[in-house]
Amino acid sequence: MSDWLHANGDAGVWPKTWYAENVALPDPHPALDGAREADLCVIGAGITGLSAALHAARAGLSVIVLEAQRVGWGASGRNGGQIGSGFNWDQSRLEASSGPDARALWDLAEEAKALTFALIAEHAPEADLRPGVLSACLTERALAGSADWAEQMGREYGTTYEVLDRDALRARIGTGAYAGGVLDRSAGYCNPLAYVLGLARAAEAAGAVIFERSEVTRIGERVETGAGSVKARFVLQATNGYAPGLTKRTARRVLPINNYIAVTEPLATPPMADPVAVADSRVVVNYFWQTRDGRLVYGGGESYGKRFPGDIARRVRANMARVYPDLAEAHLTHAWGGTLAVTATRLPYLDEVAPGVFSAGGYSGHGLALSALFGRVCVEAMRGDRTRFDHLRRLPTPALPGGRVLGPWAAQAGMMWGAVRDRLASRSTS
């Protein structure tokens, strides 16, 4: 049993997020009861698992999906909603690390983004996909580096980014908290729960069978739950931060962390005249976007213990007030926490941890963009084509410093030092 699955309540129901309030929530799927067989057993009904289920079923494989809670209950359905470009490392760093593979990695990240957009358009138009993600820079030095990066990416990869100085950024998003930023119109944002629920409908229509309230306790000759088991040729562990300990290799590389989001009431004067999503250059990232009815969906703050803080709204409000001081007293209608996962390098983890047993996760904040592709390439590898799987598998994701026991403490220390650096950078621009 994973403590992360049960540490914060919401057992068997979706948390009360703004996303859940704005979708038609489906009736429950049954729990697994008894012994079953399938070509593929997917553990986790988030985007990775459901994408794998969809693509495997379309390829003619029999698929069973086991979800411990409800479809989209985890990070897939409660994240910040941003679909960004690339990985946490920029292309120069990937080129230095991966050599010729860096170009293929960029192409795969672009394909991941395009796949996500296509799946939303086909299966979840109600997710209300909108274009534009702005990377906001705290300091002039960070802005200069981002401008150089944007110019290099345009020259070498054919991208088109718009660099905004402080005044242009203030005019666009209504805050002077940043020195400027880079706008990526090829990226986007949406209601992620609507997306994952649409993906579940598509997987079922293709023939996949989904069981909810079916927490996996062991992966052995059979995938076992409390009331049943599945014998499968292939297994995909797609639990991300909620149950990395199902396989030892994954547990050594994927660290669960908690992150927090709140939503304001509709604002009399919304800050963005031409809305885009924003993610800033803090080590502990702030990210936000504006809804069509003038609310701010605002995320920020992390913790490495299993339990959420007692007052999530207060934690998020403090972060929001640093960027939008006029909203320090704004009424927050929703506030929630969620568990995602990071790796030591903040690059996503993909592996075949045992013959026929695949694992994907540790997306480190890029899961909404990357996870559908990771699910698909796992299915490609299961069917004999490992080319793209092996490209992604070679991303460096070493064991966490200190291992499973000390790793969280090391990560906590790194986060605290990053928060100090963020505060110092903020003061230098104020």
CA 354 vs. chain centroid, Å, equals 25
Token couple for 334: 């929703």
Residues pairing with 339 in the sheet = 258
Give the CATH number for residue 285. 3.30.9.10
Question: What's 213's DSSP letter?
Answer: S
Q: Let me know if residue 309 belongs to a domain.
A: yes
Q: Is 393 helix (H, G, I), strand (E, B) or coil?
A: helix
Q: In residues, how long is the chain?
A: 430
Is residue 276 in some structural domain?
yes
The answer to whether residue 405 is domain-embedded is no
Secondary structure of residue 61 in the 3-state scheme: coil
- Looking at the structure, tell me whether residues 7 and 46 fall in a common domain: yes
Say what the pTM is.
Answer: 0.94
Whether 310 and 230 map to the same domain: the answer is no
In terms of domains, do 165 and 29 share one?
no
Q: Is 118 part of a structural domain of the chain?
A: no
Question: Could you give the CA distance from residue 15 to residue 389 in angstroms, rounded to a whole number?
Answer: 33
Query: Do 373 and 357 sit in the same domain of this protein?
Result: yes
Q: Are residues 144 and 202 in the same domain?
A: no
Whole-number Å distance between alpha carbons of 362 and 350: 9
pLDDT for residue 411:
55
- Asked, for residue 94, whether it belongs to a domain, the answer is no
Residue 365's CATH number? 3.50.50.60
Residues 7 and 63 in one domain: yes
Residues 28 and 75 in one domain: yes
**Residue 107 falls inside a structural domain:** no
Q: Is residue 73 within 8 Å of 10, Cβ to Cβ?
A: yes
308: containing domain = 130-187+256-342+411-429
Question: Do 278 and 168 fall into the same domain?
Answer: yes
Residues 178 and 199 in one domain: no
Sign of CA dihedral 412, 418, 420, 422: negative
| Domain match, 156 and 21 both | no
Q: Which stretches of the chain score pLDDT less than 50?
A: 1, 417, 420, 429-430
**Whether residue 45 is found in the same domain as residue 68:** yes
Structural domains of the chain, count: 2
Whether residues 350 and 391 fall in one domain = yes
Neighbours of 190 (CB within 10 A): 23
- Asked whether residue 213 is domain-assigned, the answer is yes
Question: For the chain, what is the largest distance between any 2 Cα atoms, rounded to a whole number of angstroms?
Answer: 63
C-alpha span between 264 and 370 (Å, rounded): 28
